[in-house]
Structure 1
Amino acid sequence: MKQLTLGFIGLGLIGGSIAKALKAACPEISIIAYDINGSTLALAMEEGIADRISSSIDASFSACDYIFLCAPVSKNDENLKVLKQFLTPSCTLTDVGSVKGDIHRHIEEAGLSGQFIGGHPMAGSERFGYINSKAILLENAYYILTPPPCVSEKRVEDFRQLVTAMGAIPLVLNDEQHDYVTAAVSHLPHIIASSLVNLVKDSDSKDGIMKMIAAGGFKDITRIASSSPDMWQQICLTNTGNIASLLEDYVEALIRIKEQLYKKDAQFLYRFFDEARIYRDSFIETSSGPIKKSYSLTIDIADEAGALASIATMLALNNISIKNIGIVHNRELEEGALRIEFYEEAAIQTAREILKSRGYVIYEKK
């Protein structure tokens, strides 16, 4: 890959992870970064990720071969208006937002469609900010590209190669297809998970019995309800049509299920659960996708003093970071007494080997 100059407008979790991944793969790349957080820019310089920093969007970005719009979606339009005066025709402009229709409209209004390729790296974390960014965040994750029809094949291919260099998997869709697909497999599930959590909250007794026993399967299927409310507010406001349409279909499906419940239609109910089981089991096991994978396992441990501390210490001595650890009280949908969650796939693989070598019985979900 030839020496490139990359610009980043915003250097948070995703922007920082892209910059780190490309620096690791191609150290000769030069990076210019702008962020409203001065300490972020200082840290990026200190770590050798940014070669030049800017306190504003200025003429220094005119040297860029690629510019990544990585600020919050609500700021992209404002930043784009300032950036436009510094763009050269050869520069490829891209973004990292999870809704593409809105940014494509702004790009078209700005007359920049010929040099824009929408981007959506399907990776993330509950943590945020540059300080939590890491090159491996994008590893083997789908990175959806949404070029307008007028963008040249060469420009798309060059950007595809850049995405591959990050360690991600490029996938080309149009912006309308992207927004419909992500509404179905990401946006709607977040609404459903949050609705289920709020339903239990509103239905619980004063002594919180539901909350107390929700730590098993219910907590797993609603895990994504812990995501940023700011981000999901913006997603719902920008992909409204697709989400509302699919939500209407989902509501109709729930009504049909309710009707069959009242009829006690055993055949319908069996088919409903069986078809879902078969389709779900056909999913490819991968770390990519809009809803990040949870790296967790459960193990059997003795109910005795020091048992949990012993395992935590054993993993710590092997430099394995634990994201969460705790006793599973509701095991209706889960085997094992102790659940351990990790940040990365590599960590769970190492932990599995260590625990097995010490004689622990390990259970992992499909």
Structure 2
Amino acid sequence: MKTDNNFTIGFIGLGLIGGSIAKGIKRVFPNYKIIGFDEDKETLKEALKDGIVDQISNGNENDFKDCNYVFLCAPVQYNIMYLQGLKNAISSNCIITDVGSVKGEIHKKVEELQMEECFIGGHPMVGSEKAGFSFSSDRLVENAYYFITPTKKVNEEKVKEFTSFIEELGALTILLDYNQHDAFTAAISHVPHIIAAELVHLVKNMDTDNGILKQLAAGGFKDITRIASSSPVVWEQISLSNKKNIKMLLLQAKDHLEEIIEALDEENNDYLNTYFKEAGEYRDSVPDSAVGLMEKSYEIFVDIPDEPGTLSTTTTLLALNNISIKNIGIIHNREFEEGVLKIMLYDDKSAKRAKEILRDKNYIVYERK
């Protein structure tokens, strides 16, 4: 990768993803100049104050004329709009990339604008139910898969350089055709978001006036529907941008649900057993080592007696060993979890260390599988 101190990178959008990539660049390439634009002026001020952005853009595309790379990190439809504005502003050597989880629309717009020689699509498989620059991290893309979807006309050497650049940030790159990318992400990201949202709607519509279901659902249900808290604007645009693939998978899911209803009507034990068995086996074969589309939770579950001082003793024990707790709570609904105390840590190393410390003191500790 280039180590040129004159290397300049532009960012349009400095939310969770844009902010994290920009922070990662400053960590790995501290001398690179970063020019940033965001609709939220407070975000720009924060990025400038933190030293992540060296220059603020006022929204004029000519601010990016000297950039080697420009990252489009706004929602999908906005990225397409910004792309059009950059066409006559960037230099002939500049590469424009994006981070959207849908690639079809922007690639088609690139072809329409005859910008194929300067575009390499990108999609880091990271995210969180939290949004905004304040939640961004300089290591968010580290050890995460990062799809790269070059056009057919972009120079091969530029693709290699850009791929190497992304790998320097710690990501695991995968080169993929943009149509195949959209089919894959519909299955592992887009449809799960819709189904999570639907599960929330089912419970919401059943809930009582005093919200009893809201209390009962606070255990495993809240965990499996965590992604339903993501930005509605982002997911509205993703759903419409990848509607063909999403609709096809939802129709398949609808057929499967009808088969389950039929199996219930017929009390078909074999079908139901096989259905749950195959799902469980495939789910258990999914590796934990790589970072997925949603931020991974590092959690342990601990059995503690209902006695005064027990909670403070547990947290003090971890604090004395320099382990920071991200969140902590008592699990009342333990249908899907073991352990009365849920402790959320910041990383895998902290979770493993906390487990060792507590077990050494004869606590019964469980891990999420």
TM-score class, shorter: over 0.9
Task: Name the counterpart of 2:160.
Answer: 157
Residue pair 1:15, 1:70 contacting (<8 A) in 2 also: yes
Answer with 125-134 or 252-261: which moved more: 125-134
Residue among 6, 9, 32 paired with 1:6: 9
- For the residues of structure 2 that align with 1:133 and 1:50, how far apart are their CA atoms? 14
Q: Distance in 1 between matches of 2:151 and 2:356?
A: 47
Residue 55 and residue 301 in structure 1: after superposition, are their counterparts in 2 closer, same or farther (change >3 A)? same
User: What letter matches 2:366 in structure 1?
Assistant: Y
Number of residue pairs aligned between Structure 1 and Structure 2 = 366
Following superposition, the deviation at residue 293 of structure 1 comes to 2.1
1:319 CA displacement: 5.3
**Match in the other structure for 1:79:** 82
2:140 match: secondary structure? helix
Matches within 5 A, 1:235-274: 235-274=238-277
RMSD, aligned CA:
1.9
Are 2:35 and 1:32 aligned?
yes
Residues 106 and 297 of structure 1, relative CA distance in 2, 3 Å threshold: same
Per the alignment, residue 45 of structure 2 pairs with 42
Helix, strand or coil for the counterpart of 2:139?
A: helix
Query: Percent sequence identity over matched residues?
Result: 50
Structure-2 separation of matches of 1:133 and 1:262: 49
SS in 2 for 1:63: coil
Higher mean alpha-carbon deviation, 223-232 vs 246-255, is at: 223-232
Partner of 2:178: 175
Q: Quote the residue 2:199 is aligned against.
A: 196
**Deviation readout 1:75-116 (Å, 9 max, x if unpaired):** 223322222221112111100111111111222222111211
Q: For structure 2, which runs of at least 5 residues remain unmatched after alignment?
A: none
**Among 126, 130, 142, which residue is 2:129 paired with?**
126
> Which range moved further: 56-65 or 102-111?
56-65
Matched, 1:147 2:153: no
Distance 1:95 1:319 in 2: 39
Q: Which amino acid aligns with 1:36?
A: E
What is the SS of the residue equivalent to 1:23? helix
Alpha-carbon distance between aligned partners in 1 of 2:197 and 2:98, rounded to the nearest angstrom: 27
Alignment partners' CA distance in 1, 2:214 and 2:59: 47
CA distance in 2, matches of 1:79, 1:316: 47
Matched, 1:349 2:319: no
Secondary structure of the residue aligned to 2:218 is: coil
Q: Structure 1 43/225 Cα, relative in aligned 2: closer, same or farther at 3 Å?
A: closer
CA contact (8 A) 2:130 2:230 kept: no
Aligned residue for 2:173, secondary structure, equals strand
Structure 2: which amino acid aligns with 1:236?
Answer: S
| Paired AA for residue 171 in structure 1 | I
- Report the counterpart of residue 289 of structure 2 in structure 1: 286
Rounded Cα–Cα distance in structure 2 between residues aligned with 1:220 and 1:76: 31
Aligned-residue offset at 1:314: 4.2
- State the TM-score, normalized to the length of structure 2: 0.93
Q: Which residue of 2 aligns with 1:93?
A: 96
TM-score, length basis structure 1: 0.93
What's the CA shift string for 1:24-61, capped at 9, x where partnerless?
A: 11223221222233333333233222222222234331
Q: 1:194 to 1:314 in 2, by over 3 A?
A: same
Q: Which residue of 2 aligns with 1:52?
A: 55
How far apart are residue 304 of structure 1 and its match?
1.1
Match of 1:337 in 2: 340
One-letter amino acid matched to 1:139: E
* Whole-angstrom CA distance in 2 between matches of 1:85 and 1:110: 11
Aligned to 1:110: 113
Q: Is the 8 A contact 2:12 2:37 kept in 1?
A: yes
Q: Given that residues 119 and 143 in structure 1 are in contact (C-alpha distance below 8 angstroms), is that contact kept between their aligned partners in structure 2?
A: yes
Unaligned runs of 5+ in 1: none
For residues 219 and 42 of structure 2, the distance between their equivalents in structure 1, rounded to whole angstroms, comes to: 40
Any conservation in 2 of the 1:336–1:363 contact (CA below 8 Å)? yes
Residue of structure 2 in register with 1:70 after alignment: 73
CA distance in 2, matches of 1:24, 1:108: 34
Give 1:26's aligned amino acid.
F
Q: What code does the residue aligned with 2:338 have?
A: E
